[in-house]
Each structure stands twice: as structure tokens, then as C-alpha cells.
Amino acid sequence: MAGDFLETVGQAPVPPDLIFYDMFSSETHGEQWTIEIFRRLFDACANARERAFHLHTLNCRPRGLLAAGSLSQGPSAGVKEETTIALTPAALATPSARRYELLAAEWIGRWDRSQAKFPSEVPADQRPAFAELIRRHRQFR
């Protein structure tokens, strides 16, 4: 889609099955990495998470993607030790997803101890709900 992605997200005539999300850094372009933008992206591409949809990104902080309602994991990709692949449950059921190793309890342990547990956009009173969104994922049960 031509135009400003932040405005056109959700307007593609045919929703993509896969997006390589190679935006500028979250440090300089935080508006491209918000939970809200990932929610809109997943709503547009994955039809309430029921359609198979993958999002690949070199950003290695999956918190926001998990909170937006996707499953997630992070293999190595060349120069980056970790990347993130976000999958809808329908995508996880496809043969191409078998090669992925999902984040699991060990990741939750690291996330619990992390100094950057919550994105700065999440205010203190919404942090318990954010944490619950992440913990509720099937992959962590």
C-alpha cells in the first residue's frame, strides 16, 4: 500500500498473509511500535486472529506483539541473535510454522526479572492487565 502506513494500515484490498516489519527503530519511531498499531495490524490481517498471518521483525522485544494478541518467538537471523516472529493461532497450525520454537516458561521468567518489563506506553495502573494478556497465551500455560 502506498502512503503513510500509520494511516493506511487496514486498507489493503487483500489482507497480506505475511508482513516483514522492517520499520525504523522503536527508539526514533516509537509510534510504529505501539501495541495499538500491532492490534490494528492484526485486526486488519488476521480477522480476529482466526486467519493465518505471520509478522517477522528484527526487533527482539516481543512484549507488545504478545499483548496485541499474537503468539511469538525469536530465532536468530544472521547478524541479530534474536528476532521476533508473531503468529496467529491459525498460522501456528500451518506446516511452515513447525520449524518455529515458541517462547515458553523460560522467557516468562526472564521477562519477570527484566528492567524493561513494560513498554513505556503502558501506564502503571494498566500493567497488571498487560501482564495478564501475556501470561494468558496458550504457549505459556
Q: Are 26 and 32 in contact (CB under 8 A)?
A: yes
Residue with Cβ nearer ligand SAM (57 or 72): 57
22-61 mask for ligand SAM (x: CB under 6 A)? xxx-------------------------------------
Nearest alpha-carbon partner for 83 in 107, 59, 105, 116: 59
Q: Are 5 and 16 within 8 A, CB to CB? A: no
Q: Least Å distance between CB 86 and ligand SAM?
A: 17
Q: How far is the CB of 98 from ligand SAM (least distance, A)?
A: 27
DSSP string, 73-84: E---BTTBS--E
Q: Specify the residue, 32 or 139, whose C-beta has the smaller distance to ligand SAM.
A: 32
Phi and psi of 54, rounded to 5°? Answer: -120, 145
Q: Is 61 or 117 the residue whose CB approaches ligand SAM more closely?
A: 61
Strands 71-73 and 54-57: unpaired
Which residues are within 8 A (CB) of 129 and not within 5 positions of it... i.e. 6 or more apart?
none
Q: How many residues bind ligand SAM (CB under 6 A)?
A: 6
Q: Is residue 4 within the footprint of ligand SAM (CB under 6 A)?
A: yes
Q: Which stretch binds ligand SAM (CB under 6 A): 16-24, 45-53, 59-67, 107-115?
A: 16-24
Applying CB under 6 A, the residues found at the interface with ligand SAM are: 4-6, 22-24
